[in-house]
Amino acid sequence: MPAINLLPTDLSPKSSIAKASQIIKNASIVGLVLVIVSAVGIIAFLVITSFQIRNSNIQQDQLKAGIKSLEQTEQRLVLTKDRLKYASEVLGKETAVGAIEDLDLLFSTLPEEVEIREAQVAAAKTEISIVAKSSSGLTKTLASLLATDYYENIKLTSFAFNINAGYIVSVSLSK
């Protein structure tokens, strides 16, 4: 339907101004729609980004907790590994348990007038120092020492006599 204009023609706008007005009106509507769509897009982007940041923070906290537990596990593993290394070193060394048992059997055969002054026990070699108040006690001690089959080498390292103490003898025994 054609537009009816009841205004006098001298008061009506020029056709070029009316066309420009219509173009500006259409452009402003399109611009307003673009602004609204852009605003909705920006708001949606901010909401989605905030959810992603929140999820990333939650994952980061979970990973930190996992790393802390793994650090404790790693520390325990390193300590256990270190202890195993030292345990294998200790278990690999020779012990003097057998030498002490042999020495204990030897001491049980000593006469009463003989006393042990000093004993140094190692896995391969044992050194003892004894004091005998009489020559018969010394003889019995040396005889029992030579009669045992515990030691391969028996070496007399020192022999002394003191009027107050008696015979002081040091012997080195090795297997």
Last residue of a domain, one of 68, 93, 118: 93
The residue type found at 5 is N
Task: Give residue 5's pLDDT.
Answer: 67
Task: Give residue 104's pLDDT.
Answer: 77
Last residue of a domain, one of 70, 93, 116: 93
Task: Give me the mean pLDDT over the 93-105 stretch.
Answer: 72
Last residue of a domain, one of 29, 64, 93: 93
Specify whether 107 is located in the same domain as 69.
no
* Residue range of the domain that includes 51: 14-93
Task: Give me the mean pLDDT over the 120-134 stretch.
Answer: 84
Question: Rounded to whole angstroms, what are the CA distances from 83 to 86, 91, 97, 135, 165?
Answer: 5, 12, 23, 53, 49
Task: Give how many domains the chain has, as a whole number.
Answer: 2
Residue scoring higher pLDDT (145 or 6) = 145
25/93 Cα distance (integer angstroms): 100
Tell me the pTM.
0.47
Specify whether 28 is located in the same domain as 63.
yes
- Yes or no: say if 129 and 118 are a contact pair by the CB < 8 Å rule: yes
Task: Give me the mean pLDDT over the 54-83 stretch.
Answer: 91
SS3 assignment for 32-57: HHHHHHHHHHHHHHHHHHHHHHHHHH
Adjacency order of strands within the sheet including 153-162? 114-121, 125-132, 166-174, 153-162
Q: Tell me: the pLDDT tens digits for 4-56?
A: 767 676 766 777 888 888 999 999 999 999 999 999 999 999 999 999 999 99
Specify whether 105 is located in the same domain as 151.
yes
Specify whether 79 is located in the same domain as 142.
no
Specify whether 139 is located in the same domain as 159.
yes
Task: Give me the mean pLDDT over the 145-166 stretch.
Answer: 84
Specify whether 35 is located in the same domain as 80.
yes
Task: Give residue 93's pLDDT.
Answer: 66
Task: Give residue 7's pLDDT.
Answer: 67
Task: Give me the mean pLDDT over the 62-68 stretch.
Answer: 92
Partners of 130 in beta bridges: 116, 169
Task: Give me the mean pLDDT over the 137-146 stretch.
Answer: 83
Residue 8 in any domain: the answer is no
